[in-house]
């Protein structure tokens, strides 16, 4: 059974939200590819549509669009996802994952394409209000 960490980026607010998905909701992502638009119902965002932008597998290797399938491959790259060239024309062989989501993927990055009637903070029940509620004691120990 697959478990995914979904990172949802909101273009309008510039915030990212993290959601853990498992079970049948996680199985709905298996077989999708980078660039596919999926319904937000699987992550608790009814009325939203989300676009898959990338992700990483359990070993931390990035997914790269243009590589068919899901297994890792060592490819020769000049730039783009997973490699930044320091010198013009520099090429390097890097290990990358394919563009298809499988059970080996641990994180999926998504961006909001269409918004629903409620905000993401209301639907996911999180937000900046929870972070400020933890009060630390400032007592000095003598």
Could you state, in order of their start, the residue ranges of all structural domains in the chain? 3-65+99-125
pLDDT of residue 140: 58
pLDDT of residue 127: 53
pLDDT of residue 30: 92
Give per-10-residue mean pLDDT for the chain (142 aa): 87 90 88 93 90 93 89 89 88 92 93 90 67 46 50
pLDDT of residue 70: 84
Tokens standing for 135? Answer: 């009060």
CB-neighbour burial class of residue 52 (10 A; exposed 0-12, middle 13-18, buried 19+) = buried
- DSSP code for 103: T
pLDDT of residue 141: 52
Residue 63: which of 27, 95, 93, 39 has the closest Cα? 95
């Amino acid at each position: 059974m697959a478990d995914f960490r979904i990172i949802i980026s909101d273009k309008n607010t510039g915030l990212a939200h993290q959601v853990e998905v498992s079970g049948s909701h996680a199985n709905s992502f298996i077989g999708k590819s980078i660039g596919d638009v999926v319904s937000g119902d699987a992550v608790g965002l009814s009325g939203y549509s989300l676009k898959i932008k990338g992700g990483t597998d359990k070993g931390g290797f990035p997914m790269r669009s243009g590589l068919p399938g899901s297994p890792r491959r060592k490819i020769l790259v000049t730039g783009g996802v997973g490699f930044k060239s320091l010198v013009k024309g520099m090429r390097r062989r890097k290990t990358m994952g394919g563009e298809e989501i499988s059970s080996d993927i641990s994180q999926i990055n998504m961006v909001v394409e269409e918004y629903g009637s409620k905000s993401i903070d209301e639907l996911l029940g999180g937000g900046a209000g929870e972070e400020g509620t933890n009060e630390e004691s400032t007592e000095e120990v003598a």
